[in-house]
Structures are given as C-alpha cells and as structure tokens.
Amino acid sequence: MSAVDELKAEHALIRTMMGVFSRMCDLMESGEAVDTEHLDQMLDFIVVFVDKCHHRKEEEVFFPRVVALGLREPAVIDAFVYQHDLFKEYISELRADVREKGKGGDWPRHRFIEVARDYISQLTEHSEAEENELFAIAGPSISADENDNLADEFERLEREEVGAGEHEMYRELASRLTGMFPPRGARDVKET
Ligand SMILES: [Fe+2]
Ligand SMILES: [Fe+2]
C-alpha cells in the first residue's frame, strides 16, 4: 500500500469511529446510558490512534515531504498542524468530563455532547480537506522509492507510538464498537 493510501485508510477508520462517537452522543442525548468503559475506549482511540499515531505521521513525515517536493506552500501545511493542536484541546476537555462520569456522580453530560459533536465535525472536515488539498496532489507526485521511504518512516513511528500489533487492535476495537453503536450508513470497517 502506498504511503498516501495508508493515510487514506486511516482516515476511513477515523471517520467510521466518528460515526460511532456520533451515535454514542445521540443515545446520551436521548437519555440512554453509554458505559464509561465504551467512552474510555473511544477516547483511547482518539488519543493514541488519531493524535499520537496518525497526526504524527502527517506532521513528522508526510507534511515535510509535501513541502520539500514543492507541492504545497508551508502556510497551507501550518493551517493543518494548527488544527491538530486545537484537537488536543478538545481531547483534554472530553477526557476531564469522562473522568467525572467515572466517579459515578453528576457529570456535565450536555457539555460533553456539545464538545464531542464539535470535535467530530471539525475532525471530519479536516480529514476531507487533507484528502482534497494534499492527498489528491501528493498521490500521483510521489515516486515509488519515495513512497517506500515514507512507508518505512510510518512504520517506525507506529512502532514507537502504538507498538507493533496495536494498529490491528484498534481496527478490532472499531469493528466491535461499530457493532454496538452502529453509525448511520456504516460500512464494514474491514473494507478499509
Ligand atoms: Fe491531519
Ligand atoms: Fe489526516
């Protein structure tokens, strides 16, 4: 799989999980309970797979290559990195609320749902913009050798950030949570 295709496949998994997260929000909004354990699993996916793994691959490997090849101006890339930083702020708010929920008392459910929905829509738009503005140009412009180098770098980061085999664990988690909280128009995650 080419490096760009690998990022695209990760986007597909991330969007599936955002569909699951959205479904969790719908249930909580209509007064149904969602286990803290499942919200923790969702946040773990967001922290490790999305933030530590996917965003680092983009920031440390893919984006610099796009700039080095002259495919995009640095300002365009800076805007995407800035959004990654904003996502970290959403994550700390979401984590703090789930920690409160875990204590068993009152927790700011409505605020959590509002922040989660905002995060879901911003991250979805962000990934679509990357595909349209970066992947579409980089895909055909990166040579086979270059692709191999990028893929090696991705593999190294993955080993460092999530550990060998963990990627597959997140894929299985997505499959399990999709079964429990089917997103509207969900596709089988195995397709990705
Ligand atoms: Fe990104
Ligand atoms: Fe991305």
Query: pLDDT of 20-56, one tens digit each?
Result: 999 999 999 999 999 999 999 999 999 999 999 999 9
Query: In the numeric block, which tokens belong to residue 167?
Result: 């990627």
Task: Please provide the average confidence, as pLDDT, over all residues in the chain.
Answer: 92
Query: In the numeric block, which tokens belong to residue 123?
Result: 């991250």
**Domain ranges for the chain:** 3-182
Distances (CA, A) of 133 to 88, 128, 129: 22, 8, 6
Q: How far is the CA of 104 from the centre of ligand 1 (A)?
A: 35
Question: What is the rounded average pLDDT of the residues 145-162?
Answer: 88
| pLDDT, greater one: 165 or 118 | 118
Distance CA 59, CA 75 (A): 13
Please say if the pLDDT value at position 189 is more than 70.
no
What is the per-residue pLDDT across 68-115, written as a single tens digit (0 to 9) for each? 999 999 999 999 999 999 999 999 999 999 999 999 989 999 999 999
Q: How far is the CA of 75 from the centre of ligand 2 (A)?
A: 17
Handedness of CA 164, 23, 84, 90 (dihedral sign): negative
Q: How far is the CA of 71 from the centre of ligand 1 (A)?
A: 16
CATH class of 3-182: mainly alpha
Q: What is the reported pLDDT for 167?
A: 83
Which residues have beta carbons under 5 A from ligand 1 (an ion)? Answer: 58
pTM beyond 0.75: yes
Distances (CA, A) of 1 to 9, 29, 139, 143, 147: 10, 40, 12, 13, 9
